A = this chain, B = another copy of it.
Amino acid sequence: MADLLGDLTRTHTCGGLRTGDVGADAVLLGWVHRVRDLGGVTFIDIRDRAGVSQIVVREDEALMAAAKRLRSEFVVAVSGIVQRRSEDTINTKIATGEVEVLAREIRILSEAKTPPFSIADDAQVSEEVRLRYRYLDLRRARMQQNIGLRHRVTLAIRNALDAQGFWEIETPILTKSTPEGARDYLVPSRVHPGEFYALPQSPQLFKQILMIGGMDRYFQIATCFRDEDLRADRQPEFTQIDLEMSFGTPADLMQLLEGLVAAIFKDCRGVEIPRPFPQMSYKDCVEQYGTDRPDLRFGMPLVRLDEIAKQSTFSVFQSELAAGGCIKGICVKGGGELSRREIDNFTQLVGKFGVGGLAWMKLQEDGLTSSIVKFFSSDLLESTVKTMKMEKGDLLLIAAGAQDRVNQALDHLRRKIARDLNLIPQDALKFLWVTDFPLLRWDADAKRLESEHHPFTSPNFADIGLLDKDPLKVRALAYDMVLNGYEIGGGSQRIHSSELQEKIFQILKLAPQEIKEKFGFFVEALQYGTPPHLGFAFGLDRIVMILTRTENIRDVIAFPKTQKASDLMMQCPSPVAKIQLDELKLKTAETTEIPWL
């Protein structure tokens, strides 16, 4: 067979040369990163996935001429001899910085137009341009590192789960539409006109069916789909590390998942994660941090001040308490230095969440000072300092109002202050299990109960008696894993009794016909010997974001879509030919005729 590279075979990667290679013949293949023509000598940096090497061209006239033709992003093959750099040209910033290749031959394999942005600089480029020219963006070091890391993470997960007896099993992408929560993407069927497949929002039913099918331990790195109006950190298709096991307990699973996460962080970031992770009930989380995914990299818990406020004469507190609200404070360490204007900003922030104002007190040499201390007795003030664990120079911020609003406002405020005051230690990794979620919530619009997670979540067995009497008090056997304030995964014990499953469907007020159409096969399957089983799903994108220290989900996906669910490179979605729709017996309001089809 003919050979495009002729006699040239890569001997080293561009990132792989070291002083140990000095004297060796080398053939490097890669992209022209930078060219510096210094007259008698030309330096060419060439780049591949592994890094950058310096090529030196000197003396030989034909070579000098060849070097002159090179432009950024040309693809070249260079052969030559590896030599030590002269002292003054050593670059300690890169791994290949002590050596260079004295060129013997330079062969251009591909020319390149001038790219719309430089690959070599890490200059800021608009995301639209980056996505439009994704193939150029992917050449940049940061994207290559992210994509490489994503590969290592998924491989580490697969090997770790295999070692625990989990089998990776593919579940279908063309599945049944059972809209519940999010909107399905639909796929019209040609063979069955008028009928549709749906793309899966998760493999939930399939993985439970696999347990009923005796597969014992399943996992999958699964693509999932949601046709939602996208938030900044969402994608219409996203990747889930999905797993399910039979015959285990939540404690078994949590231990196993901690080991999995520790393996990933060890393999991919070289850090040891202390285990076991702390656990906190949903109720305690919300009480102490105002959220079910608290960021534990810094302190500043929310502290309830109802009792103290009740004894004060401050009418605002009194009337909020009388209206059934609550009073909560956070203590900002050293926050006494903050200006009035900064505090006003905080007030504005809590206002967005419907909390009318933010009272404050500073602990100074002579005690608490504030415009509202006059409403508090000195005993009360002393008690406040103690309750809030304040020290001199600290600032106390107090919010009053309806419980949900105060919690939400103080959660946001707490995180804003942590960012503003640089309270978040770089590289800290604070894991937390949140447990004992409520099973149900009240949907005021639909006037019915809804599942907090999904209808297959098992109630806590201690609470089953409450299902009829006080359903909102029933705790679920559900658990989320939280890292640095992000929910990185969640799971639950599943219902394995068909009677209990039917009861839950009834509580959710699903019509019998609807149960039958959507979940009939599943309720039937439960009757044929279902093992106790439980499972979990991690958001892979989020985990890779944390590992790569990016806030942009599109930086960890090779070909992401925009917030309008478009692929700017491929230009899709796009119109299709009329014949394609005719075959599907479909009509769309806005069909475009495409002339060549």
Contacts and interface: CB of A to CB of B under 8 A. Distances in A.
A250 interface: yes
Interface in A429-467: 435-436, 458, 460-462
Contacts of A419: none
A576 B186 contact: yes
23 contacts: A1-B249, A3-B251, A5-B247, A9-B252, A49-B216, A50-B216, A75-B530, A110-B530, A111-B529, A135-B209, A150-B169, A172-B559, A174-B225, A174-B561, A177-B574, A177-B580, A190-B227, A192-B564, A192-B565, A194-B575, A195-B572, A223-B223, A521-B569
Identify which of A113, A229, A559 gathers the most chain B CB atoms within 10 Å of its CB. Answer: A559
Contacts of A50: 216
Contacts of A90: none
Interface stretch (A34-42, A152-160, A371-379, A406-414): A152-160
A567 interface: yes
Contacts of A147: 167, 169, 215
Interface in A19-57: 29, 31-32, 47-50
Interface string A195-234: 1111100000110011011111000000101010100000
B174 A236 contact: yes
Contact of A532 (B109, B162, B192): B109
A421 interface: no
A72 to B, nearest CB: 8
Given A151-B168, A184-B580, A591 B194 contact: yes
Given A184-B580, A585-B590, A215 B138 contact: yes
Interface string A235-248: 01101000000110
Contacts of A133: 525, 528
A80 interface: no
A330 B197 CA distance: 49
Contacts of A583: 183
A113 to B, nearest CB: 5
A175 interface: yes
Interface in A517-569: 517, 520-521, 525, 527-532, 557-559, 561, 564-567, 569
A567 B176 contact: yes
A1 B435 contact: yes
B592 A194 contact: yes
A177 B155 CA distance: 31
A115 B187 contact: no
Given A177-B572, A177-B576, A191-B565, 20 more contacts: A1-B250, A5-B249, A9-B252, A29-B246, A31-B214, A49-B216, A75-B531, A110-B529, A112-B528, A112-B529, A134-B213, A138-B209, A138-B213, A173-B199, A175-B570, A186-B584, A190-B227, A192-B565, A196-B573, A198-B576
Contacts of A155: 158-159, 162, 168
A223 B561 CA distance: 19
A574 B574 CA distance: 25
A214 B580 contact: no
A461 B187 contact: no
A3 B136 contact: no
Contacts of A126: none
A525 B210 contact: no
A297 B195 CA distance: 45
Given A110-B531, A186-B188, A251-B3, A173 B170 contact: no
A590 B462 contact: no
A513 interface: yes
Interface string A254-271: 000000000000000000
A369 interface: no
A558 B171 contact: yes
A312 interface: no
A527 B135 CA distance: 11
Interface in A130-151: 133-139, 144, 147-148, 150-151
Interface in A574-597: 574-577, 580, 583-592, 594-597
A446 B561 CA distance: 36
Contacts of A150: 169
Contacts of A75: 529-532
Q: How many copies does the complex hold?
A: 2
Contacts of A197: 572-573
A400 B109 CA distance: 50
A2 interface: yes
Given A227-B190, A237-B174, A247-B29, A112 B527 contact: yes
Contacts of A1: 249-251, 435-436, 460, 477, 479
A569 B519 CA distance: 11
Nearest to A526: B110
A139 B575 contact: no
Contacts of A29: 246-247, 531
A361 to B, nearest CB: 40
A177 B570 CA distance: 10
A146 to B, nearest CB: 11
A416 to B, nearest CB: 32
Contact of A110 (B73, B462, B496, B570): B496
Nearest to A246: B29
A541 to B, nearest CB: 10
B194 A168 contact: no
A572 to B, nearest CB: 4
Contact of A514 (B229, B493, B514, B596): B596
A68 interface: no
